[in-house]
Amino acid sequence: MTDTASKQFDIDTDIITLTRFILQEQQNVKSATGELTILLNALQFAFKFIAHNIRRAELVNLIGISGTANSTGDVQKKLDVIGDEIFINAMRSSNRVKVLVSEEQEDLIVFPGGGTYAVCTDPIDGSSNIDAGVSVGTIFGVYKLQEGSTGAISDVLKPGRELVAAGYCMYGASAHLALTTGNGVNIFTLDVQIGEFILTHKDVKIPQTNKIYSLNEGYFLKFPGYVQEYLTDLKKDNYSLRYIGSMVADMHRTLLYGGIFLYPTLKLRLLYESNPMSFLMEQAGGLGVTVDGDRILDIIPKSIHEKSSIAVGSKGEVERFLKYVNKK
Ligand code: AHG
Ligand code: MN
Ligand code: MN
Kindly report, residue by residue over 290-309, the tens digit of the pLDDT.
999 999 999 999 999 999 99
What pLDDT is stored for residue 63 in this prediction? 78
Q: Find the helix or strand (DSSP H, E) in which 87 lies.
A: helix 78-94
Q: Kindly report the CATH class assigned to 212-326.
A: alpha beta
Name which residue sits closest to atom 19 of ligand 1, judged by CA.
Answer: 216
pLDDT at 310 over 90: yes
What pLDDT is stored for residue 74 in this prediction? 83
C-alpha dihedral (127, 163, 279, 29), degrees to nearest 10? -120
- State the CB neighbour count (10 A cutoff) for residue 56: 11
What pLDDT is stored for residue 2 in this prediction? 54
pLDDT at 203 over 80: yes
Report how far ligand 1's centroid is from the alpha carbon of 308 (Å): 13
What pLDDT is stored for residue 9 in this prediction? 86
Mean pLDDT, range 142-153, rounded to an integer: 96
Domain ranges of the chain: 12-201, 212-326
Name which residue sits closest to atom 18 of ligand 1, judged by CA.
Answer: 216
Q: Above pLDDT 70, what percent of the chain?
A: 99
Give the pTM: 0.96
Report how far ligand 1's centroid is from the alpha carbon of 32 (Å): 36
Q: Is any ligand 1 atom within 6 A of the Cβ of residue 227?
A: no
Report how far ligand 2's centroid is from the alpha carbon of 222 (Å): 21
> What confidence category does residue 3 fall into, taking pLDDT thresholds of 50, 70 and 90?
low
Question: Of 190, 110, 157, which is closest to residue 270 (Cα–Cα)?
Answer: 157
What pLDDT is stored for residue 28 in this prediction? 87
Nearest ligand, CA 272: 2
Tell me, yes or no, if the two domains 12-201 and 212-326 fold the same way. Answer: no
Q: Is any ligand 1 atom within 6 A of the Cβ of residue 243?
A: no
Q: What angle do CA 111, 113, 116 make, to 5 degrees?
A: 80
**Nearest atom of ligand 1 to the alpha carbon of 267:** 13
CATH topology of domain 12-201: Fructose-1,6-Bisphosphatase; Chain A, domain 1 (3.30.540)
The tens digit of pLDDT for each residue in 79-103 reads: 999 999 999 999 999 999 999 999 9
